[in-house]
Chains A and B, each alone.
Chain A
């Protein structure tokens, strides 16, 4: 009951205010012919003081608002002191219709033209009682285009911050794994096993397939070149050395970044969004020990084992090609391999794989934990984990190769 009375009071107040505005000294009333008598809506009506009036159609809605706006724009172009929209004929309206009127008011205000509404019905006043025209008509603060330095900064800053987050999480994880045991904090083997199952065992089929086909392809390419000099036996060197020292660790790391790095980023990102990380922290469970360290160790372990699987399968593929097409016996192929490969290269390959795996693991976790803005952020982190993961792996590879050559 009270609500209704209050509402009526509000209406009355608004109507009185509107009437007062109409009676303002100096604001002369423009005689308008009734719209219905005119028979057409939206037309500019003759007026003695050159204040044009636009008459709204009986249905002020999505269908008709376009023509009202067009009429208004035409009037505004002439820059009159004042334009009136006559709403007296309106029988039905919807939000889009009112939205169009508000839009017109905003455009008129921006053009420095006073826009008045006439003949507003009670339901329409009720509608306007829910909003503040003053607020709506205010011109929006235009955000200017930032200068080139700012734009460059906005582009580069997230990248630098991501890199910093990766570095920080990497050092924290290393600290946790190396110093933690001395303080009684051991790696969570149960959780590590679950992760290894996903990123290691789960990736076996795809790694084996890629390795086998790549071994065949490498042998084929080598065969085409070496046949010219009758040196087909060096297929074993080509395949063995390139797979063991470069292609094996690199391809495994790329598969790992695509499968597991992205998974870690998406998983941890969603956990941040769902406040699960905060909940863990609050319960006194450190996400670093509970989530990150097992994932990183699992990635490093999986990279090494998958790398070995890759090397063996790729060399098997190469051997198969050599035996089937190039008429090299498997014994000869094996003997040639033994002369070509050194144990030190195998050890370097294992070290490389482990580092690549750890990098991929840390990148995924770091970007996932950095997510702040909902599903959009999770998507960005997932993409970023693959891109940054692979880029960093290549960078680390370059460092490895440089060090190796310097030591030789």
Chain B
């Protein structure tokens, strides 16, 4: 089997690249995800939305092969991730980038070395090419000036951008972002959104973005899935989801307190009038 052929360069947006079938996750006696079915198409920006604690990050960890689900399966380009041979899994990992919520940069390495690390460990390129490739990735995220700094001296937004540079170091086919704009100021958040879109358009990288930032989701998404209480509440093209009739999704999108969550108002029942 030719491993390189499995993830051929992106051509169409109709082909499913990642597919999750009947995913369910139980932590202890708490059900986090229940019966998730979804497919991510090659070359699209796929946004996973939902309120905090609805299982977004858990779903992301399932999709990128870090956490086996309790039930169900995840397949990438037709190959079951959690039944794959170690070689295939390694190959899939090298074709996948993940930008963690807090950056997850190695604290002992400079920013440049963090970005160069996957290139040094996984390619046999000459050192100066590795350094220039890493510098190029840093320039893409606007961090070339911070190349020699240690992660501990970066701001949150800079760490996040450095993490994105590291995630795209090996030219992956698919990049997962965990809350790329959380904790960023609106301008930096917009820059990150812009970067995600540019990388998607120029390289055709499939982007899976977990976020609860509504403007960001609307700006970048081709398709959206909304998770509510561990289940898929809506899945489809961006505009379709944005105008979904389900009242719970309307509440979420329009940032209203949902009917059952109007805390404090139930004191009315105890008032003597």
Residues of A within 8 A of B (CB): 3, 7, 62, 65-66, 69, 92, 94-96, 98-100, 102-103, 106-107, 123, 126-127, 129-132, 135-136, 372-377
Contacts and interface: CB of A to CB of B under 8 A. Distances in A.
Contacts of A94: 171
Contacts of B130: 96, 99
Interface residues on B, range: 20 to 34
28 contacts: A3-B197, A62-B123, A66-B129, A69-B129, A92-B9, A94-B171, A95-B168, A95-B169, A98-B136, A99-B125, A99-B132, A99-B134, A100-B125, A100-B133, A102-B132, A103-B131, A106-B128, A106-B132, A107-B128, A126-B201, A127-B203, A129-B202, A130-B202, A131-B140, A136-B136, A136-B139, A373-B107, A375-B108
A267 B108 CA distance: 19
Contacts of A95: 133, 136-137, 168-169, 171
A351 to B, nearest CB: 41
Given A96-B123, A136-B136, A375-B107, A103 B128 contact: yes
B38 interface: no
A213 B107 CA distance: 42
Given A66-B125, A69-B129, A135 B137 contact: no
Q: In terms of DSSP, what is the predominant structure of the interface of chain B?
A: helix
Contacts of A123: 202
B174 interface: no
Contacts of B150: 373-374, 376
A131 B168 CA distance: 14
A139 to B, nearest CB: 12
- Which of B124, B171, B201 has the most chain A CB atoms inside 10 A of its CB? B171
A127 B132 CA distance: 15
Contacts of A376: 107-108, 150, 152
A96 B94 CA distance: 14
Nearest to A141: B148
Interface of B: 9, 107-108, 119, 123-126, 128-137, 139-140, 144, 150-153, 168-169, 171, 197-199, 201-203
B202 A126 contact: yes
B132 A62 contact: no
- Which of B126, B130, B133 has the most chain A CB atoms inside 10 A of its CB? B133
Contacts of B201: 7, 126
Contacts of A103: 128-129, 131-133
Nearest to B141: A130
B115 to A, nearest CB: 11
A371 to B, nearest CB: 10
B133 A135 contact: no
**What are the 8 closest A-B residue pairs judged by CB atoms, nearest first?**
A99-B133, A374-B107, A373-B152, A103-B132, A376-B108, A131-B139, A375-B107, A374-B152
Contact of B136 (A62, A92, A99): A99
Given A94-B171, A98-B136, A372 B202 contact: no
Contacts of A96: 119, 123, 125, 129-130, 133, 171
Contacts of A372: 152
A99 B107 contact: no
Given A100-B133, A376-B107, 12 more contacts: A66-B125, A95-B168, A95-B169, A96-B125, A98-B133, A99-B125, A99-B130, A126-B201, A130-B202, A372-B152, A376-B150, A377-B152
B40 to A, nearest CB: 22
Contacts of A373: 107, 150, 152-153
Nearest to B145: A135
